[in-house]
Amino acid sequence: MPAAKILVAQGGGPTAVINQSLAGVVLEARRFGGVERIYGARHGVRGIVNEDFVDLTQETSHNLELVAATPGSALGSTRDKPDLKYCRQIFEVLRAHGIDYFFYIGGNDSSDTVRIVSEEAHKAGYPLRCIHIPKTIDNDLVGNDHTPGFPSAARFVAQAFAGANLDNAALPGVYVAVVMGRHAGFLTAASALGKKFPDDGPHLIYLPERTFVIEKFLSDVKATQERYGRCVVAVSEGIHDATGQPILAQLAKQVEHDAHGNVQLSGSGALADLLCEEIKARLGLKRVRGDTLGYLQRSFIGCVSDVDAREAREVGEKAVQYAMWGQRDGSVTIKRTGFYSVDYELVPLTDVAGKTRVMEDIYITASGTDITDAFRLYLRPLLGSDMPDAYRLRPAPVARVLNRKD
């Protein structure tokens, strides 16, 4: 094997385990004697076009292991969404630096970037191996049973709602929490894995895979409040009406947009506050509280799934193996092979790039406000070991003496 140069980068939202994939690439590449240099691009594709590289060949294995166990993107990330012109600039830099292998860890947009760069290299007759490594807490990459980053974020969401439910049971009222995920409801659905007893919350779960009707929402909340004396609600940031318009845009007087013109769903508590205002104003309920789990979901340092960490490391390792031993570019995917086991497969970039997976109907109840046992069986092994548990007193009532009522 002639002396080879590798470039690895991280794109999109950070996760609790994305650095496991980075370490997997670097440490696995070191096993191949022909690898001369392993570069890391700071802040994703932006760092590539700016030639902002660091030499990871000089990192100690010990420090790489410590970084691997640290959430967030160690190389830095970017929200840039490269078009053809941008990708041509990426390719020009890769060619100028004599890069032989390009690994990009990221989600939907990142996979599309890898696809375009791969096509440009082929057109130019330049021998560049391009591999996309999956990462997204939204769990919306097609071709994957699940994606690294999602299990740890799901673990956080499940535990957050378990705690919110305990708080709400102690001081009953209506509690609404908004969860990330944009157009896929997997992360919001994970809230149900914090339930233990039949009357535990979340009592209602609203997903972007179903049309959100404000009148039905208010009716559901009222019925739940009357049944349990309280109501815990999990809401996806991506809920929308029958026309596809985000509910946030429908309720808010002013809506912030991101750099790509999309309604900014994350980064504020607006949706939770607006829904709480609707409940107060139209149902007349007084104790109504709202939260937005926000960016805590992505890189929470105390809530990493050991299953997620292991698989994130392995997709990085497999990416290098596919690149070194294979004959084609592609995207590494996770395939479930048992309960619980997985295997990995390299699929064509066109199978993944620019596509979005949403929750399958089998995971959503007929009411549209809860998840099925099939989803619980799907998610539970991904959450990892040592999930915390909650218990209740077994009250033995004492007879009243004065017989007063509260």
75 neighbors 110 (Cβ within 8 angstroms): no
pLDDT digits (tens, 9 = 90+) for 75-91: 999 999 999 999 999 99
* C-alpha–C-alpha distance, residues 257 and 55, integer Å: 36
Q: What is the arithmetic mean of pLDDT over 101-124?
A: 97
Instruction: Please name the residues in contact with 365: beta carbons below 8 A apart, sequence gap of 6 or more.
Output: 371, 372
Of 86, 123, 78, which is closest to residue 105 (Cα–Cα)?
78
pLDDT digits (tens, 9 = 90+) for 231-272: 999 999 999 999 999 999 888 875 554 544 455 555 556 999
Instruction: Please name the residues in contact with 79: beta carbons below 8 A apart, sequence gap of 6 or more.
Output: 12, 258, 259
- Active-site residue among 138, 308, 329, 370? 138
pLDDT of residue 265: 54
Sign of CA dihedral 284, 286, 292, 293: negative
Query: CA separation (Å) from 115 to 110, 152, 388?
Result: 9, 27, 41
Does 138 qualify as catalytic in the annotation? yes
Sign of CA dihedral 220, 226, 228, 230: positive
Q: What is the arithmetic mean of pLDDT over 129-137?
A: 98
Just give the CATH number of 150-301+360-383.
3.40.50.460
pLDDT, mean over the chain: 95
pLDDT digits (tens, 9 = 90+) for 389-402: 999 999 999 999 99
The residue written with tokens 């995207």 in the block is 331
Identical fold for domains 4-136+304-351 and 150-301+360-383, yes or no, is: yes
* C-alpha–C-alpha distance, residues 266 and 295, integer Å: 8
pLDDT of residue 260: 42
pLDDT exceeds 80 at position 135 = yes
Q: Which amino acid is at 28?
A: E
pLDDT of residue 263: 52
pLDDT exceeds 70 at position 296 = yes
Token pair recorded at residue 102: 């390009």
pTM, entire model: 0.94
Percent above pLDDT 70 for the chain: 96
pLDDT digits (tens, 9 = 90+) for 356-384: 999 999 999 999 999 999 999 999 999 99
pLDDT of residue 183: 93
pLDDT digits (tens, 9 = 90+) for 317-332: 999 999 999 989 999 9
Domain ranges of the chain: 4-136+304-351, 150-301+360-383
Instruction: Please name the residues in contact with 329: beta carbons below 8 A apart, sequence gap of 6 or more.
Output: 114, 118, 129, 130, 131, 349
Cis link prior to 340 (omega < 30° from 0)? Answer: yes
pLDDT of residue 1: 60
Sign of CA dihedral 21, 148, 117, 130: positive
Q: What is the arithmetic mean of pLDDT over 337-356?
A: 96
Pick among 3.40.50.2300, 3.40.630.10, 3.40.50.450, 3.40.50.300: CATH of 4-136+304-351 = 3.40.50.450
Of 220, 195, 224, which is closest to residue 206 (Cα–Cα)?
220
